[in-house]
Amino acid sequence: MSSAFADIDVSLLKKYDRPGPRYTSYPTAPLFTPLFTPDDYRGEIAATNGPNASPELSLYFHFPFCDTLCYFCGCTMVVTRDRRRIEEYNAYLQKEMALVAPLIAPHRRVTQIHWGGGTPTHLSPDQIVSIARVIRSSFSVSPDAEASVEVDPRELDRRHMEALREAGFNRMSMGIQDFDAHVQAAVNRIQPEEVSHQVYTWARELGFASINVDLMYGLPFQTLASFEKTIRSIIAYAPDRIAVFNYAHVPWLKPHMKLIRPDELPSPGLKLDMLKMTIETLTASGYEYIGMDHFAKPGDELARARAERTLYRNFQGYSTRAGADLYGFGMSAISHFQNVYAQNTKNIPEYYKALDAGRLATHVGYRMTDDDHLRKFVIMRLMCDLELDFDVVEKKFGVSFRDRFASALEMLKPLAADGLVEMPGRSIRIVGPGRLLLRNIAMCFDAYLERLTREKPIFSRTV
Ligand code: SF4
């Protein structure tokens, strides 16, 4: 695996550094529209829950509250230390489940649960156990469901971790970002290494099956040496997965990012050097590059899913459960099944108001066309399998690949000339540095990108 990244050409990466979507969905979220109403969403749930509905369900719960604001944060969150607000929010989650669960066919089983945020572990241990109990009594959760939770090590004691296990969680993702004290101070996230290490040790002792660690490069004051030190410390922990995100400085979308001074950020050139070092160090230490920002040990289910071509992308990034219908709960949560995307309001009072009125809190949504399904399949398989066989697409969708994607194939030609893709006969293979530029390759197949980006910047940069 490491040979694929030997001698990464940083200047080539620089050439392709431009704004673009991360393709956790296709079409992308800016296409979602308020013309899609709560009644539309309710109707779609009911219509897709006949006896022939796919049996698997995936549930996402959004817990928005955080103890403090990390200046780099790109999530939808609210800072509070008022525990009553969490209690109140959980009561509304319960109301939302009470509206949705009766619409779901009883034979359908939950095979995947994810708690994200915000900070799910800002809940007290009792609150964790109690809301998990409501989830399990509202839906039929499979005993071997993959249940994962995002954990902030700064706020934890061992009781939180025990509560998570009691609540059925078997996978967790720890936010760390960087161990360097100077960097931590600049982004308002003070997290001594001992704290992270303690939580990691508890997670292992308590038998979490898979542990992911989130790191971030491109933060203020990071140097190549300081970030390499963080990477090497994490490798010594031996987590099953490591995600290394590129800090996207988008203050026009997230005004709190103005708290980060641009002159303290590493230069684009240094960021690329950090990316190169990260990839080389992780792959040389036995981690496999999954795609985008994700690395996994060869035995981890993410790496296995990639080898078996069952990898999938959803709003949490890469996932192993393709085919499950996703229902999101909580403010800002996104649902996706069959032809539909539906997103709840990001405004907590509006979320409460809708549920008090007995309505779902859908704020925007989207109905996919046949062309969207085709393009979603192409983008998904390229980003997960790193190759695409035209025959597979033609058989599945009854189209001529070359006719339908003539302009995309034209757009790929310069990328092929730069050695990012190969197009032997009737297939596309992503090779060499192309594996780090998956977004750029996917962008060639996006029918809406030009229209979406014509007027204002809405996406982060691709490198
Ligand atoms: S803890 Fe996570 S969600 Fe909360 S502010 Fe920090 S990065 Fe954002």
- The reply to whether 33 and 23 lie within a common domain is no
pLDDT digits (tens, 9 = 90+) for 104-139: 998 999 999 999 999 999 999 999 999 999 999 999
Q: Which atom of ligand 1 is nearest to the CA of 117?
A: 3
Instruction: Return the beta strands (E) in 333-434 as ranges.
Output: 334-337, 340-344, 362-367, 387-389, 421-422, 427-430
Ligand 1 midpoint to CA 208 (Å): 22
pLDDT band at 455 (very low <50, low <70, confident <90, very high): low
Residue 69 Cα to ligand 1 middle (Å): 6
Question: How many Å lie between the centroid of ligand 1 and the Cα of residue 424?
Answer: 44
Ligand 1 atom nearest to 66, measured from its CA: 4
Do 246 and 262 lie in one domain? The reply is: yes
SS (H, E, C) 426-462: CEEEECHHHHHCHHHHHHCCCCCHHHHHCCCCCCCEC
> Among 327, 354, 389, which residue terminates a domain?
327
Question: What's the CATH number where 427 sits?
Answer: 1.10.10.920
At which residue do the structure tokens 């035209």 appear?
A: 390
Q: Note whether residue 364 is domain-resident.
A: no
Concatenate the DSSP letters of all residues of 123-159 into one string: S-HHHHHHHHHHHHHHS-EEEEEEEEEEE-GGG--HH
* Identity at 330, one-letter amino acid code: G
pLDDT reading at 353 higher than 50 = yes
Domain end point (choices 268, 302, 327): 327
- Of ligand 1's listed atoms, the one at least distance from the Cα of 177 is 7
Does 156 share its domain with 266?
yes
Host domain of residue 101: 29-327
Residues 281 and 388 in one domain: no
**How many of the other CB atoms lie within 10 Å of CB of 200?**
22
**5 shares its domain with 129:** no
Question: How remote is the CA of residue 64 from the centroid of ligand 1, in Å?
Answer: 9
Last residue of a domain, one of 306, 327, 348: 327
* Distance separating alpha carbons of residues 46 and 135, to the nearest angstrom: 19
Q: What is the mean pLDDT of residues 298-314?
A: 89
What pLDDT shows up at residue 401? 97
Please list every protein residue whose CB sits less than 6 Å from any atom of ligand 1: 66, 69-70, 73, 75, 77, 117-119, 152, 175
Task: Classify the C-alpha dihedral 182-188-191-192 as positive or negative.
Answer: positive
d(Cα 448, Cα 443) in Å, to the nearest integer? 9
Element (H, E) at 23: none
Q: From CA 262, how far away is CA 200, in angstroms rounded?
A: 33
If phi over 0 gives left and psi between -120 and 50 gives alpha, with beta otherwise, what is residue 419? left
- The CATH number given to whatever domain includes residue 86 is 3.80.30.20
Residue 211 and residue 120 share a domain: yes
Ligand 1 atom 7: residue of nearest CA: 73
Whole-number Å distance, alpha carbon 75 to ligand 1 midpoint, is 7
* pLDDT over 70 at 372, yes or no: yes
User: For the chain, what is the domain count?
Assistant: 2
Whose CA is closest to atom 2 on ligand 1? 118
Residue 139 within a domain = yes
Residue 85 predicted with pLDDT over 50: yes
CB distance 439 to 21 below 8 Å: yes
Query: φ and ψ at 418, to 5 degrees?
Result: -90, 5
Same domain for 71 and 18:
no
Same domain, 211 and 262: yes
* Whether residue 451 is found in the same domain as residue 462: yes
Structure tokens at 84: 């009553």
Q: Check whether 226 has a pLDDT greater than 60.
A: yes
For ligand 1, the distance from its centroid to the CA atom of residue 176, given in whole angstroms, is 11
Please tell me whether residues 184 and 53 are part of one structural domain: yes
Are 187 and 125 members of one domain?
Answer: yes
Do residues 293 and 437 both lie within one domain? no
| 117 domain residue, yes or no | yes
pTM of the model: 0.94
pLDDT at 1: 41
Per-residue model confidence (pLDDT) at position 365: 97
